[in-house]
A and B are shown apart, each in its own frame.
Chain A
């Protein structure tokens, strides 16, 4: 078997993903604290939290919880692995959806009413962001004529200039995917309260640690998708990523949680106006090429 660079990157993601994801979470918490006029926790706080969670002794609430959460983690890691391995990103989106479904199943299995409402809200959020994810991929394909991460990466024209509307739509659903306010209605991140703990209510100790780990992996490849939009130059990529990261945290700190109706309606309106509004003219222009 020939070992390609893509395989190395994919294995690198599996190994280094938690470290990068944990650091992203650490910077996130410090930035959030500074925005609120606080000093905030140390940079390595997410790692302290994770090691604490894995040292806790707690019996799972039922027999299904652990298999569901482990499946969630496996499919999240698999999504990232396939993504960086250069597989078809259309497939990846469905693997990611499967991962989310396992998390929702784990929440339903606990029997906690808070987890059940959290699971329902998570399903509604999935309904809200899924169309935009597909539009993003279609947009990337239309610009780079490929569903492969590395071929899109190699495209010479900056995708952000061709797909500004798609980028705005992606930014919008990024807030949902990262469980940030105003769309943190299913569960709120960093142990803050929402419906006790919503989706992750009744998940304690190592089980919650696995959910957290999956979330770190997820944030890494979500930012990798953002990276694709700026990939034409390294400087643009750095500025684009930092600006996106900062914007998501700013939005998290300046907005109040919305009801699910508002989340669903606004996401679909943005998808239709910014996403489709960008894609349809772009398709008509590039159709002949």
Chain B
């Protein structure tokens, strides 16, 4: 697996999905798909995460929550939007409170298609994001050290 980050700690956020994609995300951790083979582990702390998995569209309530989670994640980081809702709002896009896809709140690196997305394609999306993470890690190593503080400031909670 050259060129791919080998340690990917994931924080999973359900924006406003029907839970279909969330169940498929959890399926990735089961013995059948075993995401830990690739070094993927789901963590609860955004400060320890490399990858943000978002399912569902963004609404007016959770847009700030999503930005806060993303802001707490240290560089290098990447975002994977899972399913039709995370892309455009999906079937909920016409709802009065839905802003649209994940990209309306934070920058997205990889879109995983499907309604609901299949575990195989979620793993594929995660590994594509892992390649992006690796690129960013290499780029960050050559970047000046004083650009360090950026990540926690935007999402400061207190």
Contact = CB atoms under 8 A, between A and B. Distances in A.
Interface string A187-210: 000111110110011111100100
Interface residues of B, number: 32
Interface stretch (B39-47, B56-64, B89-97, B99-107): B39-47
A238 interface: no
Given A39-B34, A52-B50, A57 B151 contact: yes
Contacts of A42: 6, 39
A37 B33 CA distance: 11
B158 A111 contact: yes
A41 B1 CA distance: 13
Contacts of A111: 158
B9 A191 contact: yes
B31 interface: yes
Contact of A208 (B5, B48, B137, B149): B48
B47 A203 contact: yes
B123 to A, nearest CB: 13
Interface residues of A, number: 35
Given A48-B39, A59-B148, A40 B7 contact: no
Given A202-B45, A208-B48, A38 B75 contact: no
A6 B50 CA distance: 42
Interface in B118-151: 137, 140-141, 147-151
A37 B36 contact: no
Interface of A: 29, 33, 36-42, 45, 48-49, 51-52, 55-59, 61, 111, 190-194, 196-197, 200-205, 208
A190 B140 CA distance: 25
B46 to A, nearest CB: 8
A208 to B, nearest CB: 6
Across the A-B interface, give the 7 residue pairs with the lowest CB-CB distance, nearest first: A204-B47, A58-B74, A193-B44, A52-B7, A37-B31, A191-B41, A197-B45
Contact of A48 (B7, B47, B75, B152): B7
